Amino acid sequence: MNNLRSRTILACLGLLLALIWVMPNVINLQDKWWPSSKRLNYGLDIQGGLHLVMGVDVAGVVNDTATRLSGVLKAELEKEGISITVVKVINSEVGELEISFPSPELKDKVVKYIDDRYATMLQVLNSTDSAVSVRYFDAYLTDYKSKIIHQAIETIRNRIDEFGVAEPSISQQGEGRILVQLPGMADAERAKALIKTAAKLDFMMVEDEKTPADLPQLIAEAEKAGNYSLGPLKYTEYVTRLNQDLKGKLPEKTMVLFEKSENAQTMEVGRVPFLLRTDTDLGGDALDDAFVSFNQYGAPEVALRFNSLGANKFKNITGSNIGKRMAVVLDKVVKTAPVLQTQISDGHAVITLGSSRDRDKSMEEAKMISTSLRAGALPATLEQLEERRVGPTLGADSIHKAQMASWIGALLILVFMVARYRAMGVISDISLGINILSVVALLTSFGATLTLPGIAGIALTVGFAVDANVLINERMREELHKGSSFALAVKEGYARAMSAILDANITTAATAVVLLYFGTGPVKGFAVTLLIGIATTLFANVFVSKLIVDLTIHRFGVKKLSV
């Protein structure tokens, strides 16, 4: 009986959680007392929206980088006392450069400098008494092109977040294309203009000494007085209005910007205010590159390389602000704020992430910071290659037909189970209802987006959930035909059917994992729904149905149920 009580409590807890997560989809529950406010998002194929394929001008960025590198190399070599006639780009597609010099004895010095300073980036192709030809390593070029795509994706994502679209889908498609899907987006022209806007990167000093101790309170008072908050407003509109309202309460030449909290999903949920100086005057145009590197202990860090103009500015800023924090700001969002340890005069800097962090987490943060920096430093041109607008009428028609098909299919299954298995069929139908409720609840709790392939996954879940109950009921019938008591038939029916149920679900799960790993977009949505359906089937159509039968026999004293 203790075991039965424990299982009852577990089932009730699972059902309660499912109801808590599902209710916001049915009733508008925005009150703070309700534990969950998440709603199930609908995909582009259901609620309509904008489908864009953007081409990334990777070749243009590589060409610009090679051109900048030619100027950097000339300045660096002359700084080392190596007189250079000219550094010119021979082939921008592979970053091939020719370094010319006036005397033959300089050749070895040039080659040695390239091998020492650019060992992982440039290879020497050939050399003569008056010139040395170098080009990017193939591995470096491939990795760099990949970084350009990720930089463009990060830029688009920042812009879409600004637009406030729920659950946008932004992914790489092929070598130089990005697929952007914006569910519910009606203003297509504004969305396209927003996507194509170049990101703005700034390096701003944090004004820790003059930051008011009650800064969070000042922000709250300004919001209350102006009757606004970050939720209804776009982020840039919010910070612009907030700084206007705080004018006179903050030191001159400062402004308040925010960093998203480490564990927060959105800026609205959790943000950290920073008081920043507006007169730092160091932007993304001063940065040549940013990439992940490793210190002497193997810990990830972010390496920065400024151009010649930026290097001088950075030298002056770091020299006069040792021990203070410098914020890296992308589109008015603070990405990180490291402490300046020493004056940096060579244009090469490192952002350390601390040694006590989890290595994988530090690696992900280093990648995020370097990508954000490149998003502002190396804006790639985006060209629109394809546009499709899915109207809400088509989306409504799609979901209406899918709902009709699901209702008809579910009704036929419910009727069949009752007609075939009678009382046990009713229990199977109850378990099936709990199953679907649990699927929707988990999708909602994960913040998933429901698409037509996802609805197909739910329909398939109904199929193999019923299959599990058919196996159980048929096994019970076999035991009853042998003359076993109903209690024994129940026990043996569930036990003997379990191996077949597990085999079927494990093979289905294996297929879903493969689809999830190799698939993209709708295929992944189908796979996720399928995996959730497997988990809920084992819970509802096996665990809960067995619990209902056991309660009927042991708690309510029913001797036999019709099968």
CA–CA gap between residue 84 and residue 524 (Å, rounded): 55
DSSP code for 182: E
CA–CA gap between residue 262 and residue 371 (Å, rounded): 17
- Please indicate, yes or no, whether residues 541 and 484 belong to a single structural domain of this protein: yes
Please answer whether residues 383 and 57 qualify as being in contact, where contact means their C-beta atoms are separated by less than 8 angstroms. yes
Residue 89: is its pLDDT beyond 80?
yes
- Please indicate, yes or no, whether residues 288 and 402 belong to a single structural domain of this protein: no
Residue 478: is its pLDDT beyond 80?
yes
Question: Residue 172 domain-assigned?
Answer: no
CA–CA gap between residue 291 and residue 49 (Å, rounded): 35
Please answer whether residues 222 and 245 qualify as being in contact, where contact means their C-beta atoms are separated by less than 8 angstroms. yes
Of the ranges 23-32, 319-328, 373-382, 547-556, which one carries the lowest mean pLDDT score?
Answer: 373-382
Residue 107: is its pLDDT beyond 60?
yes
- Please indicate, yes or no, whether residues 101 and 232 belong to a single structural domain of this protein: no
Residue 198: is its pLDDT beyond 60?
no
Question: Residue 151 domain-assigned?
Answer: no
- Please indicate, yes or no, whether residues 333 and 477 belong to a single structural domain of this protein: no
DSSP string, 355-388: SSS-HHHHHHHHHHHHHHHHHHHSPPPEEEEEEE
Provide the pLDDT confidence category of residue 378 given band limits of 50, 70 and 90: very low
- Please indicate, yes or no, whether residues 289 and 262 belong to a single structural domain of this protein: yes
- Please indicate, yes or no, whether residues 41 and 62 belong to a single structural domain of this protein: no
Query: Domain tally for the chain?
Result: 3
The pairing of beta strand 41-42 with beta strand 201-205? unpaired
- Pinpoint the alpha helices (H) of 446-485: 452-481
Instruction: Name the packing angle between helices 58-79 and 308-320 (round to 10°).
Output: 70
Question: Residue 375 domain-assigned?
Answer: no
- Please indicate, yes or no, whether residues 271 and 338 belong to a single structural domain of this protein: yes
Question: Residue 145 domain-assigned?
Answer: no
The pairing of beta strand 169-173 with beta strand 271-277? unpaired
- Please indicate, yes or no, whether residues 342 and 410 belong to a single structural domain of this protein: no
Question: Residue 563 domain-assigned?
Answer: no
Please answer whether residues 150 and 368 qualify as being in contact, where contact means their C-beta atoms are separated by less than 8 angstroms. no
- Please indicate, yes or no, whether residues 416 and 348 belong to a single structural domain of this protein: no
Q: Pick the last residue of a domain from 103, 137, 171.
A: 137
Cβ atoms within 10 A of the Cβ of 96, count?
A: 16
Residues 130-161: tens digit of each pLDDT: 899 999 999 988 888 888 888 788 777 766 76
Question: Residue 228 domain-assigned?
Answer: yes
CATH code at 491?
Answer: 1.20.1640.10
Question: Residue 480 domain-assigned?
Answer: yes
Q: Pick the last residue of a domain from 137, 166, 181.
A: 137
- Please indicate, yes or no, whether residues 83 and 37 belong to a single structural domain of this protein: no
Query: What value does the mean pLDDT take over residues 517-522?
Result: 75
Question: Residue 102 domain-assigned?
Answer: yes
- Please indicate, yes or no, whether residues 415 and 538 belong to a single structural domain of this protein: yes
- Please indicate, yes or no, whether residues 68 and 207 belong to a single structural domain of this protein: no
- Whole domain around residue 111: which residue ranges? 58-137
- The vertex-442 CA angle with 464 and 157, nearest 5°, equals 120
Residue 181: is its pLDDT beyond 70?
yes
Q: Which of 78, 89, 64 is nearest to 113 (CA)?
A: 78
> How many residues does this entry show for the chain?
563
Q: Pick the last residue of a domain from 109, 137, 165.
A: 137
Residue 1: is its pLDDT beyond 70?
no
CATH code at 261?
Answer: 3.30.1360
Is the pTM higher than 0.75? The answer reads no
Query: What value does the mean pLDDT take over residues 314-322?
Result: 86
Record the tokens describing residue 536, joined without a space: 């809920």
